[in-house]
Structure 1
Amino acid sequence: MRTLSPNSRLLRVVTASVAVASLATSLSACGGDSDAATRTRSDSAGTLTIGALSNGAAKETRVKVSEVKSISAELPKSVAEKGTLVVGVGALPAGSAPLNYVGQDQKTLTGTEPDLGRLVAAVLGLKPVVKNSTWENLFVGVDSGKVDVAFSNVTDTEERKKKYEFASYRKDNLAFEVLKKSTWNFDGDYRNLAGRTVAVGAGTNQEKILLEWKAKLAKEGKKLTVKYYQDNNATALALSSGKIDASFGPNPAVAYHVTQNAKTPHPTRNAGQFSGAGATLQGLIAATAKKGSGLAKPVADAINHLIENGQYAKWLAAWNLSNEAVGTSQVNPPGLPLDNS
């Protein structure tokens, strides 16, 4: 999260906007690395609970997941023989709901990312060992071999392909959040924003995109007002009071806000998405392994098995992220170009 990549900036905003104080306290005590609790919440043989201990961020959903021998046979010998899949998550120090954070038991790492890592490990016939670290140490762990594969909202980029191999599993999207009663929706065309007032985080990828749209509208004689607020609470207050029409941020953060606001006096909704990679490329979030490790292919095949058999859809639905579904997990798909990665 210290680089200038869109993914890094997205993660920084998610962390800043949705982390709660109790999670920050429990996570920050762990230091730079920790072996998070790896409980999969199996209720019976082959059953895994998605969204366990989510503290209301997800709907707990039980799914059946079994090893697929034809896929586990693809594993590198070194991984197959040790019998574990070390899943790297970069959730320290504060976590990012709904992506990765310490659950309500104050010890188990939960969220979309560790949940998918556990599902993939089950298909591969391996025991998941979830290793939590800072964003920087996540990649150090992959580089050193201490982490087999990272599931941590990592964007597929051409720059990262120099060192890593990828298996895509979610769209990398931004989204607009509006009050549920609002009739406005973003249709993918920047001209749709004319006359609107939109809040955005400073120094983020979404700010860059929004300011580009503002400049285009200005050339056409139209106005887009961009507002900045100190934190998520201030942005939410501005939205509920009508000072802004919408806020623009990472789609997972919006999904989380919508879930948390559902029973408040001012419920919100997702009013439309836009690729974090821009208009010409659909950004993708991908499982990340060391280049040449031979893990991307079996991981992609495991994800595709989950897609084909319905567990993938249940995983996304549990976390209110069905709008980020991909039809197929791809090995090393086109990533953000070198001039924007």
Structure 2
Amino acid sequence: MTFFKKAAGLVAASLLASAIGFATAIAADDIFDLSPDQSGRIRAEKDPAAIAAVPKDFKFVAPGKFTVAVSPGGPPLATYATDAKTVVGADPDYALAIADSLGLQLELVPVAWADWPLGLASGKYDAVISNIGVTELRKEKFDFSTYRQGLHGFFVRADSNIKEIREPKDAAGLRITVSASTNQELILLKWSEENVKAGLKPIELQYHDDDAARLVALRSGRVDVIVQPHAQLVYIAARDKNIRRVGTLSAGWPERSDVAITTRKGSGLADALTLATNDLIKSGAYAKILQRWQLSEEALPESRTNPPGLPKS
């Protein structure tokens, strides 16, 4: 196949997936509220213990406000609402609950993903709540208060015979589409090595450049499984109704890897945010927020300040 035929094939795949997504996007409205008013948002009560834990010398960016940066990368975590300007999703909802706990008004600042580290370090925001994973490298510059598990999802076609993928042997011999140079690719390569050592078939990894190409490969039967961040696939499954989850994979396999509220190193705010998170877990507000965005699988039993993160590569 020539380069031009390959390129044409990729473009056609992308256009097909986009058309399918556009035609069926309305189906997700039954589950996900992407309206700007967000009438179903979960609110929280003031948390006196969390408020008292904020260091006396800590200065919020704006008095009376909790200024939080978020990157609107896509539903259900954070995306632009139907008005194309209001940011909605699980992370904005969680930011609001933390602001409520601290007795503050939420000031949400949309930012590009690449810009949050410099903006946080320079004091533009009090915190970043945007699906940031805890890593040992990031811990050198920032503090963390965990609030969700970092999960990848195993999803298959709705009519697939695959029932469950929980461990390496469950994936033996399967064709799995994955993004190159990602953490999930590294984990699946390790799984494949374990299978070969155990006398099982290796995993056949197939690489596609974008979500559209991966979904077309799955729907057409060229691959058996798609693996990428769990939250993304939860939304796609609700939208298109032709794929389903058969398992999840920790981003830090074999250890758990969490995502966290990120604050400036040594600012002293992390302990208060961890306390607020644990109180939200106890009150049930936390579970309601995750359930609202179909992310209950990512719930944590408790929040921790600066837990072990993914090791430096």
TM-score normalised by L of structure 2: 0.83
What corresponds to 1:53 in structure 2?
34
List aligned pairs for 1:209-220, cutoff 5 A. 209-219=187-197, 220=199
Query: For the structure 1 residues 51 and 239, does the alpha-carbon distance in structure 2 shift closer, same or farther, using more than 3 Å as the test?
Result: closer
Determine which of 80, 84, 106 is the counterpart of 1:128.
106
CA separation of 1:174 and 1:81: change in aligned 2, threshold 3 A: closer
2:178, 2:205 within 8 Å by CA — same for their partners in 1? yes
- In the TM superposition, what is the alpha-carbon distance from 1:51 to its structure 2 partner? 6.3
**Match runs of 1:133-212 below 5 Å:** 133-212=111-190
Aligned to 2:5: none
1:337 paired residue number = 311
For residues 112-158 of structure 1, the C-alpha deviation after alignment (integer angstroms, 9 at most, x for no partner) is 21221111001110111111222232111111111111101111112
Deviation at 1:268, TM superposition (A): 1.4
Amino acid at match of 1:72: I
Partner of 1:247: 226
Moved more, 140-149 or 230-239: 230-239
Q: Is the 8 A contact 2:154 2:165 kept in 1?
A: no
Taking a change above 3 Å as real, the CA distance of residues 317 and 73 of structure 1, as seen in their structure-2 partners, is same
Secondary structure at the aligned position of 1:293 is classed as coil
User: For 2:115 and 2:62, how far apart are their aligned partners in 1?
Assistant: 25
Does the aligned pair in 1 maintain the 2:144–2:306 contact within 8 Å? yes
Between the aligned partners of 2:121 and 2:243, the Cα distance in structure 1 is 41
User: Is the aligned partner of 1:67 residue 2:42?
Assistant: no
Q: Deviations over 1:249-289 (max 9, x none)?
A: 11111111111122xxxx2111101111121x100000010
1:261–1:113 Cα change, 3 Å? same
1:293 is matched with 267
User: Alignment RMSD, CA only?
Assistant: 2.5
Q: Quick one: structure 1 residues 297 and 51, their matched pair in 2 at CA, closer, same or farther if it must change by over 3 Å? A: farther
The CA distance in 1 between the partners of 2:89 and 2:141, in whole Å, is: 26
Distance 1:81 1:130, change over 3 A: closer
1:237 to 216, 219, 233: 216
Alpha-carbon shift at residue 335 of structure 1 (Å): 1.3
Amino acid at match of 2:272: P
| Deviating more after overlay: 252-261 vs 177-186 | 177-186
CA deviations 1:175-207 (Å, max 9, x no partner) are: 111123334244432121112111111221111
2:292 to 291, 312, 318: 318
1:97-136 correspondence runs (5 A): 97-136=75-114
1:256 aligns with 2:256: no
Q: Distance in 1 between matches of 2:39 and 2:169?
A: 40
Q: Is the CA contact 1:165–1:332 (under 8 Å) kept in the aligned structure 2?
A: yes
Residue type of the partner of 1:315?
A: I
Following superposition, the deviation at residue 76 of structure 1 comes to: 3.1
Number of residues paired by the alignment?
282
Residues 11-63 of structure 1, C-alpha deviation per residue, up to 9 Å, x if partnerless? Answer: xxxxx9xxx89xxxxxxxxxxxxxxxxxxxxxxxxxxxx965359xxx97343
Q: Counterpart of 1:249 in structure 2: which amino acid? A: Q
The secondary structure found in structure 2 opposite 1:213 is helix
Structure 1 Cα separation of the partners of residues 125 and 185 of structure 2: 33
Residue segments in structure 1 that go unaligned for 5+ positions in a row: 1-15, 22-49
Aligned-partner residue type, residue 307 of structure 2: P
Runs of 4+ residues over 4 Å off in structure 1: none
Corresponding residue for 1:85? Answer: 66
1:96 aligned partner, one-letter code = G
Structure 1 counterpart SS, 2:111: strand
Do structure 1's residue 284 and structure 2's residue 258 form an aligned pair?
yes
Partners in 2 of 1:60 and 1:277 — Cα distance? 35
Measure, in 2, the Cα distance between the counterparts of 1:259 and 1:60: 20
Length-normalised TM-score, structure 1? 0.76
What secondary structure, in the 3-state scheme, does the structure 2 residue paired with 1:314 have? helix
Q: Residues 283-315 of structure 1: CA distance to partner in whole angstroms, max 9, x if unpaired? A: 000001011111111111111121111111111
- Which has the larger Rg? 2
